[in-house]
Chain A
Amino acid sequence: MLGVPASPGAFGWLVLALGVGGSFAVVGVLLPRLRRLPAAGVAAAGALALTCGVVPYLAWRFVEDLRVTTSLDAYGASAAGPIQAYLPGYLVEGAQRHIPRDATYAVAVATSIPWAPARAGFSPLAMETLFPRRSVADPARADYVVTWGIAPRSVAHVSRTWVVRPKAGLYAAVFVGRVRH
C-alpha cells in the first residue's frame, strides 16, 4: 500500500496491542465453551479471535494509506510508479515530438545518476512515454537514441541532437539524438 508507514509508530502499536489484548480477553471469556470443540477447532477459534484483534490495526493502516492516496493530485496519481523510482513522470515528455511513431529508439543512462531504481526505471518510463514506438538494445541500430545524463554522440553517431529536458537540480538533462546510418 502506497501510504502505509514503514513502521507502525506509537499509535499503530497501541491500536495493535489493544486489539490483540481485547481478543485474548474474549478468548478467556469463551474458553469454557471452546473446550467442547476438537483440537483443530480450538486452534482455529484462537486464530480467529487473534485475527479479529488485528482488524483495528488493519483499519488504522487503511486510514494512513487513504490519507496519502486521497491527497494525490492528478499528476501524482498518474505518475505514482515512476515517482516511486525517483523519476519525474514527465522526464521523457517532449521526446515524442522528435521521434516518429514508426521509428525505433535505444536508451542510455549515465552511471552517474545517483539512484539505482531511477536508472533501472528510465527505460520503462521511456517505453511508456514513447508508446507505440519500439526500443532496440543496440544504439547503432536504432533510428534515435534517448539518453539521460549522457550526450547522444557518446553512444552512437548522431546527425542531430535535441535537449528534451534540461538539467534541473540533481536531475541530469535528457537528450534525443537522431542516429546517422
Chain B
Amino acid sequence: MTGDAFRLVLLNLLFLAAGCGVTGALGWWRGRSILRVAGLSYLVGVASFGVTAQFLYVCGASLATWQVIVVCAVLAAGALRPRGISAAPAPPRTRWGLAAIPVVAMLALLAVDLWYQPLWAYDAWTFWTPKAHALWALGGLDAGWFTQANLTSPDYPILLPAVEAAGFHFTGYETSLLDLQSLVFFAAFLRAVYELTVADVMPAVLWAVLAMLAVAPSVTDQLAAAEADVPVAVFFATAGLCGGRWLRDGHPRALATAGVLAAGAAATKVEGLAFAIALFAVLVAFAWRLRGPSVWSPLVVGAAATVAGIVPWRIWLSAHHVANQASASRVTGAGFLLHHLVRVPEAAAYMFAKMVDPRAWLFVVPLFVFACVVASRHGARRLVVYACATGVLAFAGLVMAYWSTRLGFDFQLRTSARRVVTGIVLFCAAATPLLAPRA
C-alpha cells in the first residue's frame, strides 16, 4: 500500500501541474509566486481534469494511464507562459499564524486515521467506487454496465469516479487510498481559502475559520466515508470565494476560476449543479445591477460552466435512456408539490439544524452570521448580500430537492441532510474571511 500511496502522490502532482497550467493561463501567478496559489491550482486542476475526463468518457475514450498523463500535460501547457501581470503578494506574517499548528496537526492525524480506514460507507461501496472500478476495468464508459438495473444512482455525473479511476490506473484497484484522496481535496481547499484571503483579511478570522474546518467532526466523518459530498462542497465553496473576489476586485481571472470550479461541482453531484446555478444567478444579478462593462461576463461564464460540467453527461444519459432524478419535470409537477407542501418547513428546519449543530460544524455558521452583521455595519453590504443570497439560494435548491423527491422523504432527509449541507457550510466558511477585511 505504501508504494501505491507514492503512485497516488504522482497522480496528484499531475493534477497540480494541470491546475498550475490553468491558473497560469488565467493570470494568477508568475515565476515563484506559483507556490502562493498551489491549493487553488490543485483544485482547479482536479476540476479541469474531471470535467475533461467526463467529456472524453462520453466521447468513448478509455482514459488509459498515458491518456490521463496527456490530458494533464495539455492542461499544464498554460504554465509555460503564465499571464500573471504581477507576482502574487507575499502573505503578511502575524502571530495568528501559530493557529496553523493545530490545523496541520489535525490534518496529519486525519491522514493517519484515513490510512487505516476501509471502504465502508454505503454510497461509496454501492456506486461511487464501483463506477470508478468499471471505468478503469472496462476501459471506459461501458453503456451496458453503466445502465444496468443494480447500479444505484446511474444518473449521477462521473467526475469523482473519473478521478478515482485515474488513481486506479496508477495504483491498481486500491480502495483504501480513496479516503486519503478526499483528504488531499480538503487540504487543498483549506490552502485555497488561505491563499485567496490572507493578503487583506483579518488574520484572527481567517485562522479561526481554517481551524474550525480542520477540526469539525463532520469533516472527519465525511472524509472517512470517501463519498462525493466533500469534493462537491470544496469546488462550490472555492468557486463562491472566487466569485466574491471578482465582486470585490473585478479581476476577470477570479470569475473564470469560479466558472472552472463550478463546472467541477456540477460534474461531481446533482446538487453541485444547483449550487453552481445559485452562485452564478447571484453574480449575474450583481453584474446587471452594477451595469459595468462586464455585465454579460458572469452569464457567459456561468453558462459555459454548466454546459461543460453537465451537458455532455446529460446527452449520454438521454442517449442511453437512463432516468434522470434531476429532471425539470420533478420541479414542475405543481399538484405533487402542493400536496407535499409540508415538506418545505420540515426539510428547511432539519437542514438548518444540521448546519448550526456545533457537534458537527463547531461555530462555522454562527461566525459567518456574526461576520455578516459586522460587515453590513461597516459598509461591506455588497459582499454580505452576495454571500447571503448565494447561501440562501443554494439552501433553497436543496429544500426543493427534498420537496420534490419521489423517494421516501423522511428516509432521504434523515440519511443525507447532514452530508448535503456541507457545500453551504463550506461556502459560509470560505466567505467569512472576505467579510472581515484587515483594518
Q: Chain A interface (Cβ within 8 Å of chain B)? A: 1-2, 4, 37-41, 43-45, 47-48, 50-52, 54-55, 58-59, 61-62, 65-66, 69-70, 72, 76-78, 80-85, 106-107, 117, 121, 123-124, 126-128, 131-132, 134-137
Contacts and interface: CB of A to CB of B under 8 A. Distances in A.
Given A58-B220, A132-B137, A45 B204 contact: yes
A interface, over-half SS: helix
B211 A51 contact: yes
A162 B77 CA distance: 57
Chain A to chain B: the 8 pairs with minimum beta-carbon distance, closest first: A81-B125, A44-B208, A124-B126, A80-B118, A135-B150, A80-B120, A137-B149, A48-B208
B interface, over-half SS: helix
A40 B371 contact: yes
Contact of A124 (B150, B435, B439): B150
Given A41-B202, A44-B208, A55 B106 contact: yes
A2 B120 contact: yes
Interface stretch (B16-24, B85-93, B109-117, B331-339): B109-117
A131 B151 contact: no
A1 B205 contact: no
- Most chain A CB within a 10 A radius of its CB, from B102, B148, B435: B148
A134 B212 contact: no
Given A44-B209, A84-B122, A124-B127, 6 more contacts: A40-B370, A44-B208, A51-B212, A77-B118, A84-B120, A132-B134
Contacts of B300: none
B363 A47 contact: yes
B205 A134 contact: no
Contacts of A70: 116
A47 B367 contact: yes
A66 to B, nearest CB: 6
B151 A66 contact: no
Contacts of A62: 109-110, 112-113, 220
Contacts of B152: 124
B2 to A, nearest CB: 16
Contacts of B220: 1, 58, 61-62
Contact of B204 (A48, A76, A137): A48
Contacts of A117: 122
5 contacts: A47-B366, A51-B211, A51-B212, A54-B215, A62-B110
B18 to A, nearest CB: 30
Contacts of A38: 202, 374, 439
Interface string B211-234: 110010100110010000000000
Contact of B208 (A45, A128, A135, A136): A45
A44 B375 CA distance: 14
Contact of B122 (A50, A65, A69, A121): A121
Given A84-B122, A106-B149, A41 B436 contact: yes
A131 B137 contact: yes
A70 to B, nearest CB: 5
B389 interface: no
A107 B150 contact: yes
A44 B205 contact: yes
Contacts of A131: 130, 133-134, 137
Given A61-B217, A126-B150, A54 B362 contact: yes
A117 B123 CA distance: 12
Contacts of B151: 127, 135
A69 B113 CA distance: 8
A164 to B, nearest CB: 16
Contact of A132 (B145, B176, B366): B145
B215 A55 contact: yes
B144 interface: yes
A67 to B, nearest CB: 10
Contacts of A52: 102, 211
Nearest to B176: A77
A1 B150 contact: no
A58 B108 CA distance: 13
B156 to A, nearest CB: 14
B138 interface: yes
A172 B416 CA distance: 30
A121 to B, nearest CB: 7
Contacts of A106: 149
B19 to A, nearest CB: 29
Contacts of A55: 102, 105-106, 215
B186 interface: no
B322 interface: no
A116 to B, nearest CB: 10
A78 B119 CA distance: 7
